[in-house]
Every structure is written in C-alpha cells, then in structure tokens.
C-alpha cells in the first residue's frame, strides 16, 4: 500500500504527468479564443449599440505627385466635426494598400457591433477605370491598367462590406476628384457616377468625370469648408441627410461661380436627421363638437410637375411619384405642406390650408447643371428631352 501511495505522489510531482493534465485545459482555451467572432476585434473601445461610427482616411505623401497638407487638414476638420455630432471616429493618415484594407475591415467590424450609422470619408487621389472607382494608397505604382485592380483600393469592396452589415445608413464621401499624376490610360478623369444600393448616400466634391481646381490659398478645401459649416448646424436644426448635401452643393456652387458643383446620390427607406428627426405635434381638442350636418372631411389634391419621377411628400410623408406629369391624392382638410424633390434639382415646397379641391404646380429647376434648349421642342430641364 505504501509503495502504491509513493508511486501516486511521484506521478503528481512528475512534470510529464503535469503537462498531460495542463495541456487539455489549454487546448480548450485556445480553441475557444480561435472561434471568437470577427466583429469582437473592433479597435474602438466600448462601442455601444446604435452608436454612429466614422472612418476618416487622408493621404498626401504619394510616391508620385505629393499633395500639400490640405488633405490631412481636411481629414482633421472632418474628424473634429463628426466627434461633435456623436460619431466614434477612426482616423488614419498616409496609408498604403494593406493599411487601407485593414482600416476598412476594422471600420466594418465596429459597425457590426453598433448597427448604427456609418460614415466613410477619404481625401487623396482617386481614379476611375471602366466605370469603377478606385482610391489610391501612398505606395501606388501603376504601370498599366492591369495594375489598377491590385495596387489600389476599390470603392466597390467597401460597399460590399458595408452592404452585408445591414445597418441603419451608410454615408460615403469621396474627396478624391483631383488631377492625378498617375496615368488614366486615355479614359475619363475624376470619379465615375455610381448608383448606390438602398441605405447608402455617396457624395463627390464635383460632378462625375470632372476634377477640382486645387489651390493652397486656404487651409482646407472649399468642399470641406462648406461641409463643416453645414454639419455644425445640422444637429441643432435636426437637418435631414438629403438637405445637408443639398445645402453643401448650393454653397460650393455659389462661391466657386459654378466652376465646382458637388454631386451626390442616394436613397433610404427611413428618414435620417442629424441630431434626430423631430416629431411634429398636432393640436387635438379634448372634446369634439357635434356636427349639425354632414360635411366633407377630405378634398382632392392634384400635384403636377414638369419632371416625371419626382418624389412628392405631404406633411413630410411620402405620397407617391409624379407619373404622366401629375399625381392625385385624397387628403384630409387642414393645414398641409407639399414638397416635391428630385436628385440634382432645387426642391419645391408650398404650405397652405386645404379647404376644397386644389391643384399645385411644382416647377423644378436644375441645381447641378443647366441643359441647353432643345431645338425641336424647347425642352429645358433636369431629365432628358422627351423628343430625343
């Protein structure tokens, strides 16, 4: 018996048996760590659910054609104003291709946790190739068009990553419409027009296929100066995302004397306002008077416009789309506000008291560019000429 007890004690003290006992728990721990979800590796500490997250990247020290400090200054300005709006900001400068990809992966992981609004801002060089937009890292070395796909960062890659998250809204600001020293292979300059999926808003500092006139007169570019000015008031005024881009477009166009006209495009199923959208309260009397006779409670409202496809909102509620030049609705009597808007057009807005059948004529004007008069029918509007 004593010999058996001694053997057991020697086994407990023997390091070989200790390794066997310890190895199994270690293996379980390591296996548990290896199966952690990817979104648990967000670099931002303590990201709460619903928190808006932003990624700001600014590149200026390129191997070919170094930019001034303006892109980095623009990135710092965007970081400051976004933090004041409640965003958790990931701020990066002078990134190569691998670092840009790593930063965007980190950004998507943080959004996977919060499921809130995502905002991506890039300042630097960009280019387009066969309708696809690419952002250039600082170590880009493009010899021919086959290098573009492998030595740059595709905007479509970012969209695909964010699309799988199914978060509230994604805002993409590509401040990359600059005269690039890299070859464009005889194709168009600037960035290509994009049709973003639902829940995305994309904005450029100027129109597609055009570049911004660079100047080092100011610390920040004209586009970023106007964005910062509008965003500073957006939270206080509870401004809608569409109105933010519209105000920036009008401000830049006016100050540049129509030499630079920002472009934006996007759609969203739900209304989004910086600082939250206000819920309008209506007065409801405690006691309703008894009508002595039967009276009409609704009236016919006809909204006509010069542009088909324009969106009609009544009291900030989507009422329909202009088809064949008009839309007809039955609406309760009372105070109403009619708003008609279309991308790249100055919106129409009118408030009145609806007492009987009424017709509203909404004449929309181009906000982006003015089209020449058609020689056949004299058409002058945002949409293509009907006779073409």
Same structural domain for residues 255 and 123?
A: yes
22 has a pLDDT exceeding 60: no
The more confidently predicted of residues 40 and 153 is: 153
Band of residue 380 on the pLDDT scale cut at 50, 70, 90: low
Same structural domain for residues 190 and 315?
A: no
On whether residue 92 sits in a domain, the answer given is yes
pLDDT computed for residue 28 by the predictor? 40
Q: What is the pLDDT of residues 142-169, one digit of tens each?
A: 888 888 888 999 999 999 999 999 898 9
Same structural domain for residues 93 and 158?
A: yes
Chain centroid to CA 32: how far? 37
Same structural domain for residues 260 and 302?
A: no
| Percentage of the chain exceeding pLDDT 90 | 44
On whether residue 287 sits in a domain, the answer given is no
Residue 248 φ then ψ, to 5°: -65, -45
Mean pLDDT across the stretch 242-251? 94
Residue 387 φ then ψ, to 5°: -90, 0
Same structural domain for residues 251 and 330?
A: no
Band of residue 20 on the pLDDT scale cut at 50, 70, 90: very low
Same structural domain for residues 122 and 194?
A: yes
On whether residue 23 sits in a domain, the answer given is no
On whether residue 380 sits in a domain, the answer given is no
Maximum C-alpha span of the chain: 114
Same structural domain for residues 115 and 251?
A: yes
pLDDT computed for residue 11 by the predictor? 54
Q: Please, which residues bridge with residue 338 across strands?
A: 314, 350
Same structural domain for residues 330 and 229?
A: no
List the alpha helices (DSSP H) in 43-168. 70-84, 97-114, 148-151, 155-163
Q: Please, which residues bridge with residue 143 across strands?
A: none
Same structural domain for residues 55 and 131?
A: yes
List the alpha helices (DSSP H) in 128-265. 148-151, 155-163, 222-237, 241-255
Same structural domain for residues 126 and 250?
A: yes
On whether residue 149 sits in a domain, the answer given is yes
Which CATH number do you get for residue 102?
A: 3.40.50.1460
Residue 19 DSSP one-character state: H
Same structural domain for residues 76 and 161?
A: yes
Which residue range is the domain that position 87 belongs to?
Answer: 47-267
On whether residue 338 sits in a domain, the answer given is yes
Residue 368 DSSP one-character state: S
Mean pLDDT across the stretch 37-57? 84
CA distances from 364 to 3, 89, 258, 270 (A): 101, 38, 19, 24
SS3 184: coil
Same structural domain for residues 305 and 261?
A: no
Number of domains in the chain: 2
Residue 38 φ then ψ, to 5°: -65, -35
Band of residue 354 on the pLDDT scale cut at 50, 70, 90: confident
Helix (H), strand (E) at residue 314: strand 311-314
On whether residue 242 sits in a domain, the answer given is yes
Neighbour order of strands in the sheet with 348-354: 317-321, 311-314, 334-341, 348-354
Which of 227, 251, 267 is the last residue before a domain boundary? 267
Given CA atoms 36, 38, 43, 45 in this order, what sign does their dihedral have? negative
pLDDT, averaged across the chain: 82
On whether residue 257 sits in a domain, the answer given is yes
335 has a pLDDT exceeding 80: yes
The more confidently predicted of residues 269 and 209 is: 209
pLDDT computed for residue 292 by the predictor? 53
pLDDT computed for residue 24 by the predictor? 43
Neighbour count for residue 84 (Cβ, 10 Å): 10
């Amino acid at each position: 018996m004593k010999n058996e007890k001694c053997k057991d004690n020697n086994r407990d003290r023997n390091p070989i048996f200790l390794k066997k006992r310890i190895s199994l728990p270690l293996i379980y721990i390591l296996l548990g760590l290896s199966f952690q979800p990817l979104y648990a590796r967000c670099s931002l500490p303590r990201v709460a659910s619903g928190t808006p997250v932003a990624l700001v990247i600014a590149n200026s020290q390129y191997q070919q054609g170094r930019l001034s400090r303006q892109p980095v200054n623009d990135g710092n300005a965007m970081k400051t104003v976004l933090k004041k709006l409640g965003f958790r900001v990931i701020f990066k400068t002078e990134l190569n291709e691998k670092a840009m990809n790593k930063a965007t992966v980190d950004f998507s992981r943080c959004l996977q946790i919060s499921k809130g609004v995502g905002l991506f801002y890039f300042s630097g060089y960009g280019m387009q190739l066969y309708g696809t937009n690419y952002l250039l890292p600082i170590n880009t070395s493009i010899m021919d068009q086959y290098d573009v796909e492998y030595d740059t960062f595709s905007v479509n890659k970012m969209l695909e990553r964010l699309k799988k998250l199914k978060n509230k809204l994604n805002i993409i600001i590509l401040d990359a419409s600059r005269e690039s020293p890299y070859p464009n292979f005889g194709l168009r300059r600037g960035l290509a027009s994009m049709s973003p999926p639902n829940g995305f808003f994309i904005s450029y500092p100027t129109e597609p296929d055009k570049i911004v006139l660079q100047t080092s007169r100011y610390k920040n570019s004209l586009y970023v100066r106007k964005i910062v000015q509008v965003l500073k008031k957006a939270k206080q005024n509870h401004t809608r995302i569409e109105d933010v881009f519209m105000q920036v477009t009008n401000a830049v166009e006016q100050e540049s004397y129509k030499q630079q006209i920002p472009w934006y495009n996007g759609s969203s199923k739900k209304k989004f306002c910086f600082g939250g959208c206000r819920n309008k309260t209506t007065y409801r009397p405690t006691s309703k008077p008894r009508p002595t006779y039967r009276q009409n409670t609704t009236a016919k409202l006809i909204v006509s416009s010069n542009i088909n496809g324009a969106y009609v909102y009544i009291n900030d509620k989507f009422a329909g789309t202009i088809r064949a030049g008009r839309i007809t609705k039955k609406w309760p009597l009372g105070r109403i506000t009619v708003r008609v808007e279309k991308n790249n057009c100055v919106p129409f807005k009118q408030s009145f008291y609806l007492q009987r059948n009424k017709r509203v004529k909404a004449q929309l004007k181009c906000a982006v560019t003015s089209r020449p008069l058609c020689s056949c029918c004299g058409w002058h509007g945002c949409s293509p000429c009907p006779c073409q």
